[in-house]
A and B are shown apart, each in its own frame.
Chain A
C-alpha cells in the first residue's frame, strides 16, 4: 500500500507528497520517476521522484495540478493510499564531474531538476541555478535549490520575484559572462528547446528531461516515443533524459497534444463536480 504520509502545499496548485514506498526508495537514483494510479479507474501518470529517504522508506513527489488526475490527487489526504506506484523507472542521470554545471528549471520542471542538481553537486560540480515561473509563488523549491547552488537566479513572467522575463534570458547572461561545462534544462518543452538552441552554437553539452505521454513506463507500448538524433527512442526506458541538441522538440510538443479534447472534457467534468478545486484553479484560495 502506497500511503500518503505527508502532504503540503508548496504554492497554488503545487503540492508535495511523501509516500511510503520502501522498495522504490531503496533503488531510487536521480533522474528516475514513478508511474502513479490514484484508484482503479485512474490513468497511469508519470511523476519524477523529487527525493527519497531510504531509511524511512519514503519517496517525495511534487505535483503541479494541471488536469483531472493531478487535481484529483490534490484532494487526497494524509493517510490515504494511492492505488499503484511503480518504479523507480527510467535511466538514472549520468552524473560526472564536469566542472561548472548550470541547472535551469522552469515551472514544474524544478521538481525533477532538484535531485539532478543534488547529484551533480555531490559529484563535485560547481552548481549554478536558474529557476523560473509565471509568478513569485510558482517558483517552487527555492530554498532547496539555493542550498546546493553556488549562485542562483530567479526569473518570473510578471516580475514579482527576481528578474522579469524567462529563464533563457538569465541563461543568456550566464553564457555571456562565463563558459559552463554542462547545462541541465528541465521544464516545458518550449523552454528546453530554447535553452538547447542557446548552448548549441557554443557546443556546451546540454541535458534535458522529456515529459511525453506514457502508459506503462516499461517499454511495452511505445506511446512515449520521440525522435532523438533522428532515431525513435522510448522516453520511459531510454530516457527521460537526453542530449538536448539531438531531440526533435517540435515533434514532442505536437505529440503532447494528442489527447487534448479528451483531457479538456475530463477536466471540465471533474471541475463541475468539485467546486472547491475549480475555485483554486481560477486563482482563488480555499
Chain B
C-alpha cells in the first residue's frame, strides 16, 4: 500500500478525526452483526497522518501493556500495515480484540496530546484496522516456537488472561494445556460480549492460532470438579498452574421478587444469547426469554450489552435503571452513545425496590425509587440517596440484573493453601503473579475482580514471565 506523506505539525491538527463507519441504528437493531464496520485503508492512513509523533508519547503511558503507539501509527501512515501489526504484537497478542473492546477514552486516547484541543488519534480504530487487515489478507506470521523446554503448564480458563498467558508460555518453549469449563474457549469474549461488538469469528481465529503454536485446549473440563489443582500437579504431571478463571459469579440485588420468572442475571441472559446462540432459536436449541418490556439494572458495559441484545431480540421497550447519573456510568462512552442511538430508555437516578409478579410467578412490574446525588463515597463518586416519597411503578415482563460479578469459588474453594482476599480474589505477588502456593499463579479478573480485557491480558503476560522464571529454577 502506498503510504501518505508526513505533514507539517500544523496541518496534522487540521484533519478531523475519522469516525468509524457504522451500521445505522435502525438497521442494526434488527441484526446481531457488528455495529462498527472498520476503516478503509485510505481512512486509516489519513487518521494515522494526524499523529504528532510526540517524543514523550504520553499515549503509551495510558496503555496498560505499553504498545509503542507512535511507531505503529506512523507505519500505518506509510501503508506498512503488516509491520504496524507486528509492532503492536510485541506488546499485545490480541489487537483485533483490544482495538474493539478497550475503553480507549480512559486509556491510550485519554492521554493523547491531540485530545486537549482537538480529538485524540483513533488509536483503537487503527489497532483493529491493522489486525483485521492482517487476518483478512492471510499474512499472519506465526511466532517461532522453540524446542520443548521439558515443562508442562496448566492454564485454567480461556479468557483473555489465559489465552495470553498460554501464548507467551508456548513462545518460551513450554507445553501448555488450557482447561476450560465451557464447551468453547474464549471466556467473556465468547459468552459475554455480544457478536455485534466482537465477532466470535475473531475469537475463534485467535484460538486457532494458539493451537497452531502447539497449545492444547481441553474444553468441558471444570477444574475443581473434573480434577483438582493438586491432581493437575501430581497426577497429570504439570509443573505450574495458572488461574485465569475470571469473575463469573453473578450478583443479585437481594430485593423482593428476584426469584420470579423473567428475572435473569446478565450472565444467564448473555450466555443464552451469545454462547448458546439463543437469538437463532429454534435453529439452535437454547431458548431465550422474550420480553416486550425489559428493564436492565445497572449501567456498565455488561448492562449495555444486555440492553442492546434485548433490543435486537425484538423487545418493544428497553429501559436502563441506574441509581446514579450518566456521568457516573462505568460503561464505555462509545457503547453508551450507541445504546442511546438504538432507542434505549435511560432512567438515571432510579433504584429498584421490588419486583412484582402474577400468580404463575411471571414478572409483571417493578417499583422504582427516585434518587438524588449526595456526598462523594469511597469511590469518589457522589453517593445516590433516595428521595422520600418518590416511588413509582413500571410495567415490565423481564428484568435483567447487571450489577456486577465476583470470582467463582468453584475451583479456589477446593485448592487448600490458596490465599484469597475477602472478595474471594486470589492474592498474588504483583511482580510474578505467583499465589500463596508455590508454582500456582493467577491473573485477570480472578485477581482484580471484574476489570478489563487488556488488564487481564497484561496480567497473563506478566504471569507467563513469572512462570518461566519459576520453571527455570526447577531445572
A residues 1-53 in Cβ contact with B at 8 Å: 23-24, 27, 37, 41-44
Q: Which residue of A lies closest to B287 (CB)?
A: A262
Q: Does A222 lie within 8 Å of B265, measured CB to CB?
A: yes
> Please, which residues of chain A bring their CB within 8 A of the CB of B250?
220-222
> In whole angstroms, what is the CA distance A255 to B268 when docked?
15
Provide the main secondary structure of the chain B interface: loop
Which of A78-86, A95-103, A114-122 lies at the interface? A78-86
> Is A258 among interface residues, defined by CB-CB distance under 8 A?
yes
Question: Contacts A232-B252, A259-B287 hold; do A269 and B268 have CB atoms under 8 A apart?
Answer: no
Which of A55-63, A125-133, A168-176, A211-219 lies at the interface? A211-219
> In whole angstroms, what is the CA distance A27 to B261 when docked?
34
> Please, which residues of chain A bring their CB within 8 A of the CB of B285?
41-43, 68-69, 266
Annotate A254-276 by CB proximity to B: 1 below 8 A, 0 otherwise. Answer: 11011100110110010000000
Q: Which residue in B181, B182, B221, B265 is a CB contact (below 8 Å) of A23?
A: B221
Which of B87-95, B103-111, B222-230, B415-423 lies at the interface? B222-230
Q: Does B259 lie within 8 Å of A251, measured CB to CB?
A: yes
CB distance from A189 to the nearest CB of B (A): 13
Q: Which residue in B226, B272, B284 is a CB contact (below 8 Å) of A215?
A: B272
Question: Contacts A83-B183, A232-B252 hold; do A221 and B289 have CB atoms under 8 A apart?
Answer: no
Q: Does A232 lie within 8 Å of B267, measured CB to CB?
A: no
B residues 228-270 in Cβ contact with A at 8 Å: 248-250, 252, 258-259, 261-262, 264-265, 267-268
Annotate B210-230 by CB proximity to A: 1 below 8 A, 0 otherwise. Answer: 000000000111100111000
Q: Does A84 lie within 8 Å of B282, measured CB to CB?
A: no
Q: Which residue of A lies closest to B284 (CB)?
A: A41
> Is A88 among interface residues, defined by CB-CB distance under 8 A?
yes
> In whole angstroms, what is the CA distance A216 to B183 when docked?
10
> Please, which residues of chain B bring their CB within 8 A of the CB of A27?
225-227
**Interface size on B (CB < 8 Å)?**
39
Q: Does A227 lie within 8 Å of B259, measured CB to CB?
A: yes
> Please, which residues of chain B bring their CB within 8 A of the CB of A88?
225-226
CB distance from A40 to the nearest CB of B (A): 8
> Is B26 among interface residues, defined by CB-CB distance under 8 A?
no
> Please, which residues of chain B bring their CB within 8 A of the CB of A89?
222, 225
> Please, which residues of chain B bring their CB within 8 A of the CB of A83?
183
> In whole angstroms, what is the CA distance A222 to B401 when docked?
11
Q: Which residue of A lies closest to B183 (CB)?
A: A84
> Is B283 among interface residues, defined by CB-CB distance under 8 A?
yes
Q: Does B259 lie within 8 Å of A222, measured CB to CB?
A: no
> Is B361 among interface residues, defined by CB-CB distance under 8 A?
yes
Q: Which residue of B lies closest to A262 (CB)?
A: B287
Q: Which residue of A lies closest to B282 (CB)?
A: A266
> In whole angstroms, what is the CA distance A44 to B286 when docked?
8
> Is B71 among interface residues, defined by CB-CB distance under 8 A?
no
> Is B271 among interface residues, defined by CB-CB distance under 8 A?
yes
Q: Does B252 lie within 8 Å of A215, measured CB to CB?
A: no
Q: Does B271 lie within 8 Å of A258, measured CB to CB?
A: no
Annotate B281-296 by CB proximity to A: 1 below 8 A, 0 otherwise. Answer: 1111111010000000
Q: Does B267 lie within 8 Å of A218, measured CB to CB?
A: no
> Please, which residues of chain B bring their CB within 8 A of the CB of A84?
183, 219-220
CB distance from B104 to the nearest CB of A (A): 29
> Please, which residues of chain A bring their CB within 8 A of the CB of B227?
23, 27
The 5 closest A-B pairs by CB, nearest first: A254-B361, A262-B287, A221-B268, A43-B285, A84-B183
The 25 sampled A-B contact pairs (Cβ below 8 Å) are A27-B226, A27-B227, A37-B183, A44-B276, A69-B285, A86-B183, A87-B226, A89-B225, A215-B276, A216-B182, A216-B271, A218-B222, A219-B248, A220-B248, A220-B249, A220-B271, A221-B250, A221-B265, A222-B250, A222-B265, A223-B265, A257-B360, A263-B287, A266-B281, A269-B282
Given contacts A86-B222, A86-B226, A251-B259, 14 further A-B contacts (CB under 8 A): A23-B221, A43-B284, A43-B286, A84-B183, A215-B286, A216-B181, A218-B248, A218-B408, A219-B410, A223-B264, A251-B361, A258-B262, A266-B287, A269-B282
Please report B residues at the A interface, Cβ cutoff 8 Å. Answer: 181-183, 219-222, 225-227, 248-250, 252, 258-259, 261-262, 264-265, 267-268, 271-272, 276-277, 281-287, 289, 360-361, 408-410
